[in-house]
Structure 1
Amino acid sequence: MSNVLDVPLSDLLDLAVGIAREAGDMLLDKRPDRPEVIQTKSSPTDVVTALDRAAEELIRGRIRESRPHDAILGEEGGHSSGENRVRWIVDPVDGTVNFLYGLPEWSVSIAVEVDGEIAAGVVNVVPRGEVFAAERGAGAYLLTTGERLRCNTGVPLAQALVATGFGYRPGRRAVQAQVLAHVLPRVRDIRRAGSAASDLCSVAAGRVDAYYERGPQYWDYAAGGLIAVEAGARIGGLYGKPYSPELTICAAPDLFEELHDLLAPLDPERDLPERDLSGTSGGEG
């Protein structure tokens, strides 16, 4: 197999940006006052709307038109195989509950994976009219202003504004509440936006100092993770493990270490058995 892509990586990023913008415009144009939930996934609060599926169909269609031999992994449509070194990682609506309720923190996220590594990504935070993008080794940008992104540095944990999120299942949320109760007195404050992709872009843009969460999937953090790294942040899991649905931590390298060391003794990668809970329910957007 050739080590040379058939097109420059920048062309793939440009394609991703154009598709993310088109999908975002469609979602804004067709969103009713209250989108209808058509399916739930891991719990009654883990919802899918018809527009989630329509957006992914649009994205897949545009990729197939331009790159018919690439693979695609999407949140709603699963994996479709390809013959090239390129795979597209698609989250048509990251923050579906925000989308459902008309809250402004939801996004279209598209990453481009080459030989198993994320090489380019775009996050279109549609209600805010902000498009974040990065190419591996070339920096991260807020395309709507042309600003090059830099994460905050030199922020001690006690002064850090930390973003996080919560899972869908009661047993996971119970542990996350325990962890949060330990973290909150030791940081400046906590923010919960409801979109992992948007949170990672907020780290990149210096709007929050750090982010941690258990639960987001590959399509949630693939593009946003690259954007944060290209803005100078470190992203990973506990004890040197790569970031994953088990736990993702993201911050400037010095703050990453402090936040990691705060989280690690709390055993945040666990869930309580459902039988140990009574009268609890919950979910995430």
Structure 2
Amino acid sequence: MHPMLRKATDAAREAGEAIRHYANKVHKLNIQNKDQNDFVSEVDQQAEQIIVRHLQRAYPDHAFFGEEHGKQGTDSDYEWIIDPLDGTTNFLYGIPQYSVSIALKHKGRLTVGVVYDPLRDETFAAARGDGATLNGRRIRVSERSSMHSALLGTGIPFRANQNLDLYLQTLKALIPDTAGVRRPGSAALDLAWVACGRFDGFWEFGLNEWDMAAGVLLVQEAGGLVSDLSGDNNHLKTGDVVAANPKVFKEMIKRLRPIVTNR
């Protein structure tokens, strides 16, 4: 295993252990609103501290960009991108669908990604050029050849600035002929599930870089394609993402492009 991937995996699992510890003690937690319907708890903050501390011991000169504490460290060619608890709302409501997400950029290019599901003890890991794995076993995107009977994942906009009307247009365009659409609640895990073939495709608006950086690399290293809604390579900047196996991806973009062009 790539040494930086190993460190990221260890950090994700250590944070996941802390998250599991609090899973049945949510009623005792200090919970705050970062924004309308956007929660943060002391578990998010503690998990991020665990990850940063773990990685800083190994790489003291690296920079860090986390959901809870923003930018940390000096300028560096290496930047760790951290979502310590992706799916906080699920966690707080006792819905068993959340994850730890850690990615590494080197000179602006994603090189390492880990998504850890602490409840299922599933570690999705990828290093650029080395493929993607689930608990050490190689994974690939699905072999679905069209949108017919494809199972898609998504995230439904719930904030005022996420353009619900546009999303509903995309849903109407993508859902025909499929086996259905699921909204589990952790974008990092949704992308990991595309990488291992549980979902044939996924799309969402308004994500942050930490929500999807690790998952994007997982999909790419598992043989899938990732882009923004227009099929361009701006997803990490725009926060709008489409990910799928190559054939389903082509159909999704074909259906989405007219909507996005007229937005």
Q: TM-score, normalised by structure 2?
A: 0.92
Residue in structure 2 matched with residue 224 of structure 1 by the alignment: 215
- The equivalent residue for 2:3 is 11
Cα separation, 1, equivalents of 2:190 and 2:251:
19
Aligned CA distance change for structure 1 residues 246 and 61 (closer, same or farther; 3 Å): closer
Contact kept? 1:136, 1:230, Cα under 8 Å: yes
Q: Determine the C-alpha separation between the residues in 1 that align with 2:30 and 2:172.
A: 32
1:263 to 256, 259, 263: 256
Distance 2:34 2:13 in 1: 27
1:64 positional shift: 1.8
Q: Which runs of 5+ in 2 are unaligned?
A: none
Give the partner amino acid of 1:249: V
For 1:159, the equivalent position in structure 2 comes to: 149
Of 14-23 and 166-175, deviating more is 166-175
Tell me the equivalent position of 1:110. Answer: 102
The aligned counterpart of 1:126 is 118
Instruction: Report the counterpart of residue 138 of structure 2 in structure 1.
Output: 148
Q: How does 1:1-285 map to 2 (within 5 A)?
A: 10-31=2-23, 32-34=25-27, 36=29, 38-43=31-36, 45-143=37-135, 146-170=136-160, 172-237=163-228, 238-244=230-236, 245-267=238-260
Over 3 Å counting, the alpha-carbon distance change for 1:167 and 1:35 in structure 2 is farther
Distance in structure 1 (CA, Å) of the matches to 2:112 and 2:262: 28
Alignment partners' CA distance in 1, 2:261 and 2:33: 25
Q: Deviations over 1:84-125 (max 9, x none)?
A: 421111000001111111112100011111111110111101
Q: Is the 8 A contact 1:69 1:82 kept in 2?
A: yes
- Going from structure 1 to structure 2, the CA distance change for 1:113 and 1:241 (only over 3 Å counts) comes to closer
Given that 1:89 and 1:219 are in contact with CA atoms closer than 8 Å, whether structure 2 keeps it comes out as yes
Change (3 A) 1:173 1:47: farther
Question: How many residues are treated as equivalent by the alignment?
Answer: 259
Please say if residues 13 and 121 of structure 1, whose CA atoms lie closer than 8 Å, have aligned partners that are also in contact. yes
In structure 1, C-alpha distance between the alignment counterparts of 2:260 and 2:35, rounded to whole Å = 22
Between the aligned partners of 1:241 and 1:118, the Cα distance in structure 2 is 13
Q: Is the 8 A contact 2:209 2:239 kept in 1?
A: no
Q: 1:82 deviation in Å?
A: 2.5
In the alignment, is the contact (CA less than 8 A) between 1:142 and 1:148 conserved in 2?
yes
Relative to structure 2, which stretch is displaced further, 122-131 or 24-33? 24-33
Give secondary structure in 2 for the equivalent of 1:240: coil
- Separation in 2, partners of 1:123, 1:131: 6
Deviation at 1:175, TM superposition (A): 3.1
1:197 and 1:224 in contact (8 A); partners too? yes
User: After the TM superposition, which segments of 4 or more aligned residues of structure 1 sit over 3 Å from their partners?
Assistant: 33-37
Q: C-alpha separation between the residues in 1 aligned to 2:6 and 2:262?
A: 36
Task: Determine if contact 1:35/1:100 at 8 Å carries over to the other structure.
Answer: no
Q: Secondary structure at the match of 2:130?
A: coil
Larger CA Rg, structure 1 vs 2: 1
Deviations along 1:174-201, whole A, 9 cap, x unmatched? 4323432332224221011101110011
| Alignment TM-score, normalising by the size of structure 1 | 0.85
8 Å CA contact 2:151–2:181 kept in 1: the answer is: yes
Q: Which moved more, 1:120-129 or 1:76-85?
A: 76-85
Distance in 1, Cα, partners of 2:245 & 2:108 = 25
- Name the CA shift for 1:127/1:78 in 2 (closer, same or farther; >3 Å): same
Pair 269,35 (structure 1): closer, same or farther in 2 beyond 3 Å: farther
Aligned letter for 1:95? G
* 5+ residue gaps, structure 1: 1-8, 271-285
Q: Root-mean-square deviation (CA), in Å? A: 1.9
Paired with 1:228 and 1:73, the residues of 2 have a C-alpha distance of: 21
Residues 122 and 223 of structure 1 are in contact (CA less than 8 Å); yes or no, is this contact kept in structure 2? yes
